[in-house]
Chain A
Amino acid sequence: MSAIFQHLANALSVGSLYALMAIGYTMVYGVLRLINFAHGEIFMMAMYVVFFGLATFMMPWYISFIVAILITALLGVTAERLAYRPLRDAPRISILISAIAVSYFLQNLATVLFGGRPLTFPQVPLFTSMMNLGGVHISRLLILTPVIAAVLLVGLQYLLKRTKTGMAMRAVARDYDAARLMGIDLNRTIAMTFFIGSALAGVGAIMWGMKYPQIIPTVGAMPGIKCFIAAVLGGIGNVAGAVVGGLVLGMTEILIVAAVPALAGYRDAFAFVLLIIVLLVKPTGLLGEKTTEKV
């Protein structure tokens, strides 16, 4: 009984981490029709920033978290400004290649700046200590991660549905010219999208670091590709889809391994199998829009 509960909580927390990061892919895809391959590296940078904040500069955890989230968000905005905006009118393949370049650039930058040796993500007892929940001993993180993710998702929904900025994002995602005719500033709205998507990746990275505390320059690659798959699984471009995709992917991974421990070594392969199945069966994803291509 306690084991089942553990596995479910674990599945939910991994799923919500994937969801947080998948949103960044889906939002950027929405406004630029770009798979931002640098998203995983933005995630990786957030982990380093937290590490140096806590371990080197001895900041209190909340300051270090906020700084990391802000720096991550600004890094996303900078990548857009320098590597994507100049290519906005170029063929889409160019901007995609540019995204891959940003991804490699950040990985190598991290290697140069921080070295290739693994660092250990500092533990923050408030999040990582064990707690007793109805007789079950469980890491607080397993409970806090889904709660924090849920709060952020509600906030994001509010932003998208109820605020001017959110309306502008939805308008830009649908139709550049029509949005411009409303007086919407395209550049600022796209920058805002990167800011929010990257900030969410930053939050995801912090929770991830506390769960899997090893930091290396390529640490973002696997979560990055998996969350991209989660976004496709849910229907890329659709925020609710990214959440569903992230949860489905995270829970599938954890629960399959829990049910058949012999498959543990193949855990990372499930995402790709799932991707192939989705692309074959329902290419638009679970909640995907009909393929109405932008003219």
Chain B
Amino acid sequence: MKLEIKDLRVSYGGIRALKGVNLTVDEGSIVTLIGANGAGKSTTLRAISGLLKPDAGQITYNGESIAGFPAKEIVKRGVVMVPEGRRVFPDMTVRENLLIGAYLRSDRAGIDQDLKYVMELFPRLSERTWQLAGTLSGGEQQMLAVGRALMAKPKLLMMDEPSLGLAPLVVKDIFSIIRRVNQDGITVLLIEQNANASLRVADYGYVLETGSIVLEGQGRALLENHSIQEAYLGHRKSAIPASGKASSEETSGKHGRKYEVSMNSD
């Protein structure tokens, strides 16, 4: 049950969004993909989930090539995505949202059991089963989006920016849910701008920049990597360059930053 991506190239609106991405998600692990806005993180997930057709490259899951499959076939194989911005169905109730997550399943008993599992995972939702999803708070909607994905009985759960726009306490909840779901046997591929939290929870991480992987390594190792700290974790080597001796790399700002890509180039 391994997801392997080799040399994935995707164009999106005439722009080459992915220029040859390689990554591997081992069964049972939490893997995170971090990077700035527009680096191609969402594009990667959308290509895996069948929403976008890749130009070239391989996506294999469980030994089977799934690149270019319709989204339905990907979901059938247990690869399920929680989209960015939650995308719950606002005019359906919480319960309907969860049931539609199980759209491709017909095992009534299994669905009921998973409904209980989700309710236990998110007690807040169980209090609001008949409420319209559009009336939930942002955090509740995120939980609903995760619950809805779990109803598809995923083996690999892909999450696109689950912490985006949520209050810090809720973010903490979301990350503990990610850990819990993983302990229950679901592999997780997580995209985040919140690099700190996601690297902490992840076994392995990849850094994506303008359509290519520029760095990869164990979550902890990346967390301690200088260039990562500088670019994504908000640490600065020195607060403000004291004099004119700061290198151009340090002052080149958010965009076009160069890394020392020496580590983990194996």
- Residues of A whose CB lies within 8 Å of any CB of B are 164, 167-168, 170-171, 174-175, 177-178, 180-185, 289
* Cβ-closest 4 pairs across A and B: A183-B75, A183-B104, A180-B71, A178-B87
**Hey, which chain A residues are within 8 Å of B149, CB to CB?**
181
Please encode chain B, from 88 to 119, with 1 for each CB lying within 8 Å of some chain A CB and 0 for all others. 11111000100111011000000000000000
Q: In the bound complex, do residue B100 and residue A182 qualify as a contact, i.e. CB atoms below 8 Å apart? A: yes
Cβ of B114 to closest chain A Cβ, rounded Å: 14
The closest CB in chain A to the CB of B82 belongs to A181
| Number of A-B residue pairs having CB atoms within 8 Å of each other in the complex | 61
The verdict on B20 contacting chain A, using a C-beta distance below 8 Å, is: no
The closest CB in chain B to the CB of A292 belongs to B90
Q: In the bound complex, do residue B50 and residue A168 qualify as a contact, i.e. CB atoms below 8 Å apart? A: no
**Hey, which chain A residues are within 8 Å of B33, CB to CB?**
none
The closest CB in chain B to the CB of A175 belongs to B87
The closest CB in chain B to the CB of A289 belongs to B91
Cβ of B213 to closest chain A Cβ, rounded Å: 24
A183 vs B50: C-alpha distance when bound (angstroms)? 10
Q: In the bound complex, do residue A181 and residue B89 qualify as a contact, i.e. CB atoms below 8 Å apart? A: no
* Chain B interface size, under 10 / 10 to 19 / 20 to 34 / 35 or more: 20 to 34
The verdict on B76 contacting chain A, using a C-beta distance below 8 Å, is: yes
The verdict on B30 contacting chain A, using a C-beta distance below 8 Å, is: no
Q: In the bound complex, do residue A175 and residue B89 qualify as a contact, i.e. CB atoms below 8 Å apart? A: yes
Q: In the bound complex, do residue B92 and residue A170 qualify as a contact, i.e. CB atoms below 8 Å apart? A: yes
**Hey, which chain A residues are within 8 Å of B80, CB to CB?**
181
Cβ of B57 to closest chain A Cβ, rounded Å: 21
A-B contact pairs, 18 of them (CB 8 A): A167-B92, A167-B96, A170-B91, A170-B92, A174-B90, A175-B89, A177-B51, A178-B89, A180-B50, A180-B72, A181-B71, A181-B75, A181-B80, A181-B83, A181-B87, A182-B100, A183-B103, A184-B100
The verdict on B208 contacting chain A, using a C-beta distance below 8 Å, is: no
The closest CB in chain A to the CB of B105 belongs to A183
The verdict on B18 contacting chain A, using a C-beta distance below 8 Å, is: no
**Hey, which chain B residues are within 8 Å of A178, CB to CB?**
83, 87-89
Q: A181-B81, A184-B72 are in contact. Are A168 and B87 (CB under 8 A)?
A: no
The verdict on B187 contacting chain A, using a C-beta distance below 8 Å, is: no
From A175, A182, A289, contact of B103 by CB (8 A):
A182
The closest CB in chain B to the CB of A295 belongs to B85
**Hey, which chain A residues are within 8 Å of B72, CB to CB?**
180, 183-185
**Hey, which chain B residues are within 8 Å of A183, CB to CB?**
71-72, 75-76, 103-104, 152
A183 vs B92: C-alpha distance when bound (angstroms)? 17
**Hey, which chain B residues are within 8 Å of A171, CB to CB?**
89, 92, 100
Cβ of A76 to closest chain B Cβ, rounded Å: 24
Most chain B C-beta atoms within 10 Å of own C-beta, residue among A168, A178, A181, A183: A181
**Hey, which chain A residues are within 8 Å of B100, CB to CB?**
167-168, 171, 182, 184
Q: In the bound complex, do residue B83 and residue A182 qualify as a contact, i.e. CB atoms below 8 Å apart? A: no
The closest CB in chain B to the CB of A167 belongs to B100
The verdict on B212 contacting chain A, using a C-beta distance below 8 Å, is: no
The verdict on B49 contacting chain A, using a C-beta distance below 8 Å, is: yes
Given contacts A168-B103, A181-B75, A184-B72, 5 further A-B contacts (CB under 8 A): A167-B100, A175-B87, A180-B70, A181-B71, A182-B100
**Hey, which chain B residues are within 8 Å of A167, CB to CB?**
92, 96, 99-100, 103
A183 vs B152: C-alpha distance when bound (angstroms)? 9
Cβ of A172 to closest chain B Cβ, rounded Å: 10
A170 vs B90: C-alpha distance when bound (angstroms)? 11
The closest CB in chain A to the CB of B71 belongs to A180
Cβ of B10 to closest chain A Cβ, rounded Å: 15
Q: A167-B96, A170-B92 are in contact. Are A180 and B87 (CB under 8 A)?
A: no
Q: A167-B96, A181-B80, A182-B101 are in contact. Are A174 and B152 (CB under 8 A)?
A: no
A242 vs B51: C-alpha distance when bound (angstroms)? 32
A164 vs B105: C-alpha distance when bound (angstroms)? 11
From A174, A180, A181, A182, contact of B91 by CB (8 A):
A174
A178 vs B81: C-alpha distance when bound (angstroms)? 9
A278 vs B81: C-alpha distance when bound (angstroms)? 41
The closest CB in chain B to the CB of A187 belongs to B70
The closest CB in chain B to the CB of A164 belongs to B103
A185 vs B92: C-alpha distance when bound (angstroms)? 19
Q: In the bound complex, do residue B51 and residue A180 qualify as a contact, i.e. CB atoms below 8 Å apart? A: yes
Q: In the bound complex, do residue A177 and residue B87 qualify as a contact, i.e. CB atoms below 8 Å apart? A: yes
A175 vs B72: C-alpha distance when bound (angstroms)? 15
Q: In the bound complex, do residue A182 and residue B75 qualify as a contact, i.e. CB atoms below 8 Å apart? A: yes
Most chain B C-beta atoms within 10 Å of own C-beta, residue among A170, A171, A175, A178: A178
**Hey, which chain B residues are within 8 Å of A175, CB to CB?**
87, 89
A174 vs B89: C-alpha distance when bound (angstroms)? 7
Please encode chain B, from 29 to 50, with 1 for each CB lying within 8 Å of some chain A CB and 0 for all others. 0000000000000000000011
**Hey, which chain B residues are within 8 Å of A168, CB to CB?**
100, 103
**Hey, which chain A residues are within 8 Å of B89, CB to CB?**
170-171, 174-175, 178
A167 vs B96: C-alpha distance when bound (angstroms)? 8
Cβ of B13 to closest chain A Cβ, rounded Å: 12
**Hey, which chain A residues are within 8 Å of B152, CB to CB?**
182-183
A103 vs B77: C-alpha distance when bound (angstroms)? 42
